[in-house]
């Protein structure tokens, strides 16, 4: 196979609307300035302690959890495009208000509302990918979308830091402008993709998703593994500080995660898509458990880089397969709600995992990394046990 043929096999045939979505999503994620600097802003401008700032960040996480669930409902009921517009314009308004917020209660409320309206877009985007791309191409499409998200978000902290050197107020205002640009992009370039209901067809309810026992059990199994990636922020940074590493070293180690995703993800997606998804999940959960356990080996920066490589491979394997599985087993008219519940469980893990990891690290030290191995093994075992049920759902075309 020539290079041109290899590129076409991985990037071709997905259609102009899909690539328009990728361009807009990159703009959106590259402009997500606030979250990376939230703690700095709270402690520097508002004089909060680290503990108080952590509570506000947890409030932001709670808003994200609710926003993703609500976003799935809105995307199914009112359409993907309208959901993206409400999210973008709402986020722009809240960001502008936060740029002027002085009182701490206003800041807390603003952080919660910002996360809620911003995260409305997430299930709409993932549902839109399934709407735009034929089933056989979804593994490639979701892998590329995952790369787009990581590329955009890798730029955001650097841009935010540069703008913050001038003024934190301009961080919020610039982020608001980016959200308005994202709204304009949606209006100009993205079509509505929500499948039309047939005459007399029931539009469905969120409770219909909550009745899907197989899906809920799978989310529960996945939640053990989702406790792991979030340890790469609070717990890992604290652990590397204990070992005597600088913030710059920590940043360089963690940056390897994004680099590997961008370099590897598009090229292995097709091969992963040909495997039984439950087997992929088992391997991915084990890789993440082993990878995070390696951080506790005490073998220096090289050891931490090796650890990041191992758990990132687990992330690369699981991320597109997760979205494809949800798109496959979800009834068409409930795609947004299924993706919303998936996003909600991930967002909840982003709230719980840092608190849990910091507590275990504070009281039991390096045993945290042994616990990560245990979480990975438990999740892998649960995925293996669920294999027959998940395979039957895939074969049945998503009928519960």
Show the tokens assigned to 232. 């790469």
Average pLDDT of the chain?
A: 88
Show the tokens assigned to 288. 């993440």
Q: Is 399 left (phi over 0), alpha (psi -120 to 50) or beta?
A: beta
Residue-wise pLDDT tens digits, 93-110: 999 999 998 888 999 999
The pLDDT value recorded for residue 400 is 56
Say whether pLDDT at 395 is over 70: yes
The pLDDT value recorded for residue 169 is 92
The pLDDT value recorded for residue 397 is 63
Residue-wise pLDDT tens digits, 341-368: 998 888 888 778 877 887 888 888 899 9
Question: What confidence category does residue 5 fall into, taking pLDDT thresholds of 50, 70 and 90?
Answer: low
Question: What confidence category does residue 246 fall into, taking pLDDT thresholds of 50, 70 and 90?
Answer: confident
Which domains, from first to last, does the chain contain?
15-192 (1.20.1250.20), 205-400 (1.20.1250.20)
The pLDDT value recorded for residue 38 is 78
Across 124-136, b (16+ Cβ under 10 Å) vs e yields bbbbbbbbbbeee
Q: Is 255 left (phi over 0), alpha (psi -120 to 50) or beta?
A: alpha
Residue-wise pLDDT tens digits, 363-389: 888 999 999 999 999 999 999 999 898
Lowest-confidence pick of 17-26, 160-169, 273-282: 160-169
Average pLDDT over residues 184-209: 84
Residue 329's closest CA among 376, 391, 250? 391
| CB half-sphere exposure, 305, CA atoms < 13 A | 8
Average pLDDT over residues 131-136: 92
Question: What confidence category does residue 398 fall into, taking pLDDT thresholds of 50, 70 and 90?
Answer: low
The pLDDT value recorded for residue 178 is 96
Return the percentage of the chain with pLDDT > 70, whole number.
94
Residue-wise pLDDT tens digits, 329-343: 898 889 999 999 998
The pLDDT value recorded for residue 12 is 79
The pLDDT value recorded for residue 258 is 83
Return the percentage of the chain with pLDDT > 90, whole number.
47
Share in percent of the chain as helix, strand, coil (round to 5): 85, 0, 15
Task: Judge whether 131 and 147 are in contact, CB under 8 Å.
Answer: no
- What's the pTM? 0.85
The pLDDT value recorded for residue 3 is 65
């Amino acid at each position: 196979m020539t290079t041109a043929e290899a590129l076409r096999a991985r990037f071709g045939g997905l259609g102009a609307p899909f690539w328009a979505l990728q361009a807009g999503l990159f703009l959106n994620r590259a402009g997500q300035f606030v979250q990376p600097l939230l703690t700095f802003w709270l402690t520097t401008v508002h004089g909060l302690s680290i503990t108080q700032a952590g509570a506000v960040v947890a409030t932001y996480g709670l808003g994200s959890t609710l926003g993703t669930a609500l976003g799935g409902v809105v995307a199914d009921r009112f359409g993907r495009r309208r959901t993206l517009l409400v999210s973008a314009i709402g986020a722009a308004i809240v960001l502008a208000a936060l740029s002027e917020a002085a009182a701490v209660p206003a800041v807390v409320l603003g952080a919660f509302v910002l996360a809620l309206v911003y995260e409305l877009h997430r299930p709409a985007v993932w549902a839109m990918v399934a709407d735009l791309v034929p089933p056989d191409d979804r593994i490639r499409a979701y892998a590329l979308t995952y790369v787009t998200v990581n590329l955009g978000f890798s730029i955001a902290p650097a841009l935010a830091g540069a703008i913050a050197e001038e003024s934190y107020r301009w961080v919020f205002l610039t982020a608001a402008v980016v959200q308005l640009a994202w709204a304009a992009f949606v209006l100009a370039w993205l079509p509505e993709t929500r499948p039309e209901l047939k005459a007399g067809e029931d539009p469905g309810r969120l409770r219909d998703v909550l009745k899907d026992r197989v899906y809920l059990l799978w989310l529960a199994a996945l939640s053990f593994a989702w406790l792991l990636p979030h340890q790469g922020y609070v717990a890992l940074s604290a652990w590397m500080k204990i070992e005597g590493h600088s913030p710059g070293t920590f940043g360089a180690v963690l940056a390897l995660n994004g680099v590997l995703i961008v370099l590897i993800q598009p090229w292995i997606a097709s091969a992963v898509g040909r495997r039984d998804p439950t087997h992929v999940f088992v391997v991915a959960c084990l890789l993440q458990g082993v990878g995070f356990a390696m951080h506790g080996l005490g073998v220096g920066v090289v050891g931490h880089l090796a650890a990041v490589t191992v758990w990132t491979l687990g992330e690369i394997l699981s991320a597109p397969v997760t979205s494809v599985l949800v798109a496959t087993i979800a009834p068409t008219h409930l795609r947004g709600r299924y993706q919303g519940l998936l996003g909600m469980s991930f967002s909840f893990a982003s709230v719980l995992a840092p608190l849990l990891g910091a507590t275990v690290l504070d009281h039991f030290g390096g045993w945290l990394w042994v616990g990560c191995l245990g979480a990975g093994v438990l999740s892998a075992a649960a995925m293996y046990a669920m294999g027959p049920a998940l395979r039957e759902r895939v074969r049945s075309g998503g009928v519960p």
